[in-house]
């Protein structure tokens, strides 16, 4: 069957596979079908841990729009959880996820068992996220980014067009901007290890009142979800000051968080969007110029929330 590049089929059950061999065969078959005579095909990968919400749907929709063949992986990667309880209670909702992906037009869902990803148990050879991986989220979740890089490195390999594929392929992988530090590290991984993939980032999806969507939001009580809006409100306030080229007076933020006893602020920093180096010189009490990214993390009950907002674009 020829897959049209203009109108990918929606509401068709995606093929669900669990092994690397099945994935490679399915990808090759679809790429060959998608390539019209003489031209190549495009292949998109959206790595996820499942428990899909509208934020993921927007990632999948973007990837669907730009690629002939779309693979979505669902794998809850224990290596990136530094807290066993958090890993165990992470929602596993494969059937519902596959339904969402059918509506979103995914071609292949790769939902491997643990031994398919880590055949020898925990990997002996490890990726080290370095200094960049040990600040911000890395400071409170030691090992998180090393574990994230381990699985992303694997998934990028596994979802690549197999060497036997006879058509030229353009390969793209999609990640959400909500995990800004993750995105910077994945860009470095791809650059440092010369992966033949374009990393594409997709904007944060928020509720109408500003809470960034996350699979963990379902663990917030309505009161906690309401209190958590302080994150968006404070970022928006600072963005307003940046747009007016006023000093940002970031310390005001602490006061606003102090008024929300349900929310415990971990960090609220302005950083360079590409390197995540702090831009302290450009934000405290001089008019803001240039570009920056606000990075925020806060604890609300048992739930850690992260968010970010670009300034100066």
What are the residues binding ligand PAF (CB under 6 A)? 47-49, 77, 80, 148, 151-152, 179, 182
> Which residue, 110 or 288, is less far from ligand PAF as judged by CB?
110
**Residue with Cβ nearer ligand PAF (54 or 286):** 54
**In 3D, which of 303, 283, 284, 302 has the Cα closest to residue 293?**
283
Question: Least distance in Å: CB of 147 to ligand PAF?
Answer: 8
Q: Which of 47/138 has CB closer to ligand PAF? A: 47
Residue 130 beta carbon to ligand PAF: minimum distance, rounded to whole angstroms = 17
Catalytic residue among 53, 56, 66, 157: 56
* DSSP letters spanning the chain: -PPPSSS---S-PPEEE-SHHHHHHHHHHHHHHHPPTT--EEEEEEEE-S---HHHHHHHHHHHHH-SEEEEEE---GGG-S-HHHHHHS---HHHHHHHHHHHT-SEEE---HHHHSTTSS-SS----TTGGGSTHHHHSTTHHHHHHHHHHHHHHHTSPPTT--S-EEEEEEEETTSHHHHHHHHHHHHHTT-S-EEEEE---B-TTSPBP-GGGGGS-HHHHHHTHHHHHHHHHHHHHHHTT----TTHHHHHHHT-TTEEEEEEEEE-TTT--B-GGGTSSS---S-EEEEEEEEETTEEEEEEEEE--
Q: Which is nearer to ligand PAF, 72 or 263 (CB)?
A: 72
Phi, then psi, of 309 in degrees rounded to 5? -150, 130
- Shortest distance, position 198 Cβ to ligand PAF, whole Å: 16
- Least distance (Å) between residue 196 CB and ligand PAF: 19
The answer to whether the beta carbons of residues 16 and 111 sit under 8 Å apart is yes
Active site residue 245: no
Compare residues 148 and 161 and give the one whose CB is closer to ligand PAF: 148
Cβ 177 to ligand PAF shortest distance, Å: 11
User: What's the min distance (Å) between Cβ of 186 and ligand PAF?
Assistant: 7
Closest CA to 213 of 23, 9, 53, 2: 53
| Closer by beta carbon to ligand PAF, 76 or else 230 | 76
Determine whether 39 is exposed, middle or buried from the number of CB atoms within 10 Å of its CB (0-12, 13-18, 19+): exposed
Residue nearest to ligand PAF (CB): 47
Give catalytic residues, as residue numbers.
56
């Amino acid at each position: 069957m020829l897959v049209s590049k203009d109108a990918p089929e929606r509401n068709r059950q995606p093929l669900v596979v669990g092994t690397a061999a099945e994935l490679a065969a399915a990808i090759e078959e679809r790429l060959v079908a998608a390539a019209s005579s003489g031209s190549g095909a495009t292949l998109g990968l959206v790595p996820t841990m499942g428990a899909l919400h509208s934020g993921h749907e927007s990632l999948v929709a973007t990837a669907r729009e730009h690629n002939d063949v779309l693979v979505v992986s669902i794998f809850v990667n224990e290596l990136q959880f530094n807290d066993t309880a958090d890993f165990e209670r992470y929602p596993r909702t494969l059937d519902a996820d596959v339904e969402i992906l059918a509506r979103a037009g995914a071609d292949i869902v790769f939902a491997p068992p643990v031994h398919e990803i880590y055949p020898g148990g925990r990997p002996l050879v490890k990726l080290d996220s370095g200094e960049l991986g040990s600040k911000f989220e890395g400071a409170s979740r030691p090992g998180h980014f090393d574990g994230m890089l381990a699985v992303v490195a694997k998934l990028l390999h596994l979802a690549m067009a197999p060497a036997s594929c006879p058509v030229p392929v353009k390969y793209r992988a999609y990640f959400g901007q909500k995990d800004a530090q993750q995105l910077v590290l994945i860009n470095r991984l791809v650059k440092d290890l010369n992966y033949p993939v374009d990393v594409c980032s997709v904007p944060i999806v928020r509720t109408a009142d500003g809470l960034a969507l996350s699979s963990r939001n379902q663990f917030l009580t309505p009161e906690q979800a309401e209190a958590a809006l302080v994150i968006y409100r404070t970022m928006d306030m600072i963005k307003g000051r940046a747009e007016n080229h006023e000093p940002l007076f970031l310390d005001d933020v602490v006061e606003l968080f102090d008024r929300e006893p349900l929310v415990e602020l971990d960090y609220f920093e302005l950083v360079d969007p590409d390197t995540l180096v702090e831009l302290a010189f450009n934000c405290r009490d001089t008019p803001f110029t240039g570009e920056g990214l606000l990075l925020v993390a806060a604890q609300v009950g048992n739930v850690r929330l992260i968010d970010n907002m670009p300034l100066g674009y």
